[in-house]
Amino acid sequence: MNDKLALPVGTTLDRFIMRKQEAFPYATGELSQLLRDIALAAKIVNREINRAGLLDVTGAYGQQNVQGEDQQKLDVIANIRFIRALRNGGEVCTIISEEEDDIIQTGNIGGKYIVAIDPLDGSSNIDVNVSIGTIFSIYRRVSEQGADGTMEDCLQKGVRQVAAGYVIYGSSTMMVYTTGHGVNGFTYDPSLGEFFLSHPNITSPETGSTYSINEGSFNSFPEGVKQYVNYCKESGYSARYIGSLVADFHRNLLKGGIYIYPATAKAPNGKLRLMYECNALAFIVEQAGGKATNGYQRIMEMQPTELHQRCPLIIGSTEMVDKVEEYLKSEVEVG
């Protein structure tokens, strides 16, 4: 059996994970179990989100996270749920979370894996019922099992990811992930409590005519980005910016398009975080035939130096990302 195993739409996530694991005779099942643990937490968070308007879980939590951003109650709930699921699952020794200043040791010193996670991205949109998402990366530890994970385990380049994915809590809830052999999307049926394969082998169009960027910061964009935005306008492209990374990314992945969060006056290194936003989506988009750079370097080749470091993100259809890089390159040459 090879990994080109084509499973029919409607296959459950559990069966899909099992059948894909069978394609790898040496697989021991820990990564499969870890993916199930993430799916379980996603189901629980989905339930909390769907009840947000009914329970007192919307609005601000009253504290700020390491980013200095006001935590929303559901940010904190999602963080607790994912950490608990990963700790109880036993496969993960250490976690990096957007909501936690330092790395979290789960106590699973035999765990083979590290997870970097943004438990609930775009959570400021919760109160206005806009789609939000969870983003995760999975790495194999480089240190010996039998002790807590190390900072070296955590600060690995994106090319060392063994899996990555996101959950989008939108008009329907979907989990989209890759283990390096293509990208597959699963839609959640809450009446059955199951994710079902709905988007097998996702491939992203090589180009598109949708661009996602916050033009409110236009005046402080790098010159090359300004030129690209003007190119989009002259080309009659559609501007689509939801203000929720996972929602913008998911639309562009399926339909073609580009998402740009460049360096701005307010975010001189960009706003998005390398470890638990950019790397995960970069892995997915590359597996789907797209591209992700910081404008000058492939995102997944960037060597992390800090847990919560930010970087500019240009991600989506290859031809569109290439165009932005052309403008940025000519800026450098002219400069």
Q: Which positions make up the binding site? A: 98, 118, 120-124, 214, 241, 271, 277
The footprint of ligand P6P on residues 23-42 (CB under 6 A) is none
- Which phi and psi (to 5°) does residue 100 adopt? -125, 130
CB of 335 to ligand P6P, least distance (A): 26
Q: Is residue 244 at the binding interface for ligand P6P, with CB under 6 A as the rule? A: yes
Is 268 within 8 Å of 217 (Cβ atoms)? no
Is 246 within 8 Å of 276 (Cβ atoms)? no
How far apart (Å, rounded) are the C-alpha atoms in residues 62 and 280?
A: 29
**Binding region for Mg(2+):** 98, 118, 120-121, 277
- Pick 13 or 135: Cβ nearer ligand P6P: 135
- Pick 65 or 244: Cβ nearer ligand P6P: 244
Q: Is residue 243 at the binding interface for ligand P6P, with CB under 6 A as the rule? A: yes
- How many chain residues bind ligand P6P (CB under 6 A)? 8
Distances in whole angstroms, Cα of residue 235 to Cα of each of 210, 232, 238, 252, 322: 10, 5, 9, 17, 16
CB of 267 to ligand P6P, least distance (A): 7
The footprint of ligand P6P on residues 292-311 (CB under 6 A) is none
Q: Which stretch binds ligand P6P (CB under 6 A): 46-54, 105-113, 134-142, 241-249?
A: 241-249
Q: Can you tell me which of 73, 141, 271, 310 binds ligand P6P, judged by CB under 6 A? A: 271
- Pick 93 or 213: Cβ nearer ligand P6P: 213
How far apart (Å, rounded) are the C-alpha atoms in residues 40 and 82?
A: 9
- Pick 23 or 218: Cβ nearer ligand P6P: 218
Is 269 within 8 Å of 310 (Cβ atoms)? yes
CB of 160 to ligand P6P, least distance (A): 24
- Which phi and psi (to 5°) does residue 273 adopt? -95, 135
Is 50 within 8 Å of 42 (Cβ atoms)? no
CB of 144 to ligand P6P, least distance (A): 35
**Binding region for substrate:** 121-124, 214, 241, 271
- Pick 43 or 273: Cβ nearer ligand P6P: 273
163 strand-pairing partners: 138
Q: Which stretch binds ligand P6P (CB under 6 A): 77-85, 120-128, 181-189, 327-335?
A: 120-128
214 three-state secondary structure:
coil
The 3-class SS string of 156-167 reads: CCHHHEEEEEEE
Q: Is residue 122 at the binding interface for ligand P6P, with CB under 6 A as the rule? A: yes
Contacts of 92 (CB under 8 A, 6+ apart): 34, 37, 86, 106, 108, 111, 113, 114, 115
Q: Can you tell me which of 75, 91, 99, 121 binds ligand P6P, judged by CB under 6 A? A: 121
Contact map string, positions 198 to 237, toward ligand P6P, x by CB under 6 A: ----------------x-----------------------
CA 94 and chain centroid, separation: 18
How far apart (Å, rounded) are the C-alpha atoms in residues 277 and 284?
A: 11
Is 20 within 8 Å of 6 (Cβ atoms)? no
Binding site for ligand P6P (CB under 6 A): 121-122, 124, 214, 243-245, 271
